[in-house]
Amino acid sequence: MTIKLSKFVIAASAAAFTFAATASVEAADKRYTLGSLAAGTTPFLVNTAWAKAVNKYVPGHKIQVSAVGAATKHQVLVIKRRMDFAMGAQVAYRLMAYEIGPFKKLKGGLAMTKKFQSLFSYPIGVYHAVVYAKSGIKSYSDIKGKKVFLGPPAGVATRNVKMIIDAMTGLKAGKDFTQVKMGWGPAAQAFQDRKFDVWIIPSAAPSPAISQLTLTNKVRLLPLDKSNFGHKSWKKYYSQPARFLATIDPKVYGKNLVNTEPVLTTGAYVGMGVRSDMDADLVYKMMKAFWDNIGEAHALSVQLKKTLTFKLATLALSGDVHPGALRYWKEKGVKITPPYKLTQADVDKFKAKAAARKAKAKMKK
């Protein structure tokens, strides 16, 4: 990790952080808000790069990055026109359409997805399960009785990590270990202050936040055990769209990472989404400002060189793609992989099966 990147992380790690990519904004400028995960995560870096490009190359339009709250809440705010951009994902689209998980209280979920349109996709990275080397925790099984951060309480990441832990250990949050409930930013600081035992975050490797931590602390990453991939919770997790397996090379975090072998983990693709009623010409200009100057985004972090590429940008889209983005991709000759999309028939079928399972379980009682 370079000194330049470390300084960036230090400067950007406030828990409730709003990033203005230019120092001054004229009164005539139109302002937009982009919901983001906290500093030190891949989405924060991507969102910062997007804001900087728009603010620099699209006159009269300024974007602020708000790193407060969970991505699922940001998506709902975009749909309600109280926010303009947010991180989206195929799995979040699925959960909203089916009205399950963090969206179980919604009504008309499939219709709501149409108000949140895709711009581009990218790998959010892989799950890092971080512990201090002296904690005695060497595997997921060792988290029994410990305090564990899984992600924000209402987030998709938390739902996924619960399934992963159940598959690896059979342990349940709230029963076998304490679930630490806070946002991404506060959790990063709390782990540095040793307020809890296990910190699980999704990020490309090297993660700026973890690299910062390893400058002065010896830590360990907990690996997945592939012998547990037959567990029903793992099958449920991995059957979701845009999942993949990967390994983390210990060398990327230097000598203070005590792992000596590649760490088996899993990750997913996410993306940038926008409210569907944003002007198509404006979105096209924003896309052009960002992707035509992608080298400036790559200069922000070593992560982004492999994260933001034309090949990955249209690999894992969900729902409808915004017309402004479609125009840009067509102009560039970029082939779009068909986005993950559900119909009303799909939703009705899912709900019928869920109702049948519930009725069957009730009869057994």
For the chain, what is the mean pLDDT? 91
Residue with the bigger pLDDT between 153 and 226: it is 226
Residues above pLDDT 70, as percent of the chain: 92
pLDDT at 104: 92
Question: Taking phi first (over 0 means left), then psi (-120 to 50 degrees means alpha), and beta for anything else, what does residue 253 get?
Answer: alpha
pLDDT higher than 90, residue 232: yes
38-92: per-residue pLDDT in tens? 887 899 999 999 999 999 999 999 999 999 888 999 999 999 999 999 999 999 9
pLDDT higher than 50, residue 243: yes
214-228: per-residue pLDDT in tens? 999 999 999 999 999
Q: Residue 275's beta-bridge partner residues?
A: 116
Instruction: For residue 188, count other CB atoms closer than 10 A to its CB.
Output: 25
Question: Residue 139: which of 168, 96, 160, 103 has the closest Cα?
Answer: 168
174-204: per-residue pLDDT in tens? 999 999 999 888 999 999 999 999 999 998 8
Count CA within 13 A, CB hemisphere, residue 315.
Answer: 14
pLDDT higher than 70, residue 19: no
When pLDDT is averaged across residues 254-264 and rounded to a whole number, the result is 97
When pLDDT is averaged across residues 249-277 and rounded to a whole number, the result is 97
CA–CA dist 327, 159 (Å, integer) = 35
CA–CA dist 326, 129 (Å, integer) = 37
pLDDT band at 18 (very low <50, low <70, confident <90, very high): very low
- Spell out the domain ranges in the chain: 3-123+269-349, 125-267
3-123+269-349 and 125-267, same CATH topology: yes
pLDDT at 365: 66
CA–CA dist 319, 342 (Å, integer) = 8
pLDDT higher than 50, residue 13: no
What Cα–Cα distance (Å) separates residue 335 from each residue in 288, 295, 310, 327, 328?
16, 21, 10, 12, 11
pLDDT at 11: 39
CA–CA dist 249, 187 (Å, integer) = 24
Q: What is the residue-wise DSSP string for 254-271? A: -TTB---SPEEEEEEEEE
Q: What is the pTM of this model?
A: 0.81
- Which tokens is 112 given? 């709501």
285-328: per-residue pLDDT in tens? 999 999 999 999 999 988 899 999 999 999 999 999 999 999 99
pLDDT at 123: 95
For the domain bounded by 125-267, which CATH number is listed? 3.40.190.10
pLDDT at 218: 98
Distance of CA 259 to the CA centre of its chain: 25
When pLDDT is averaged across residues 143-152 and rounded to a whole number, the result is 96
CATH architecture, domain defined by 3-123+269-349: 3-Layer(aba) Sandwich (3.40)
pLDDT higher than 90, residue 15: no
Q: What is the DSSP letter of 65?
A: E
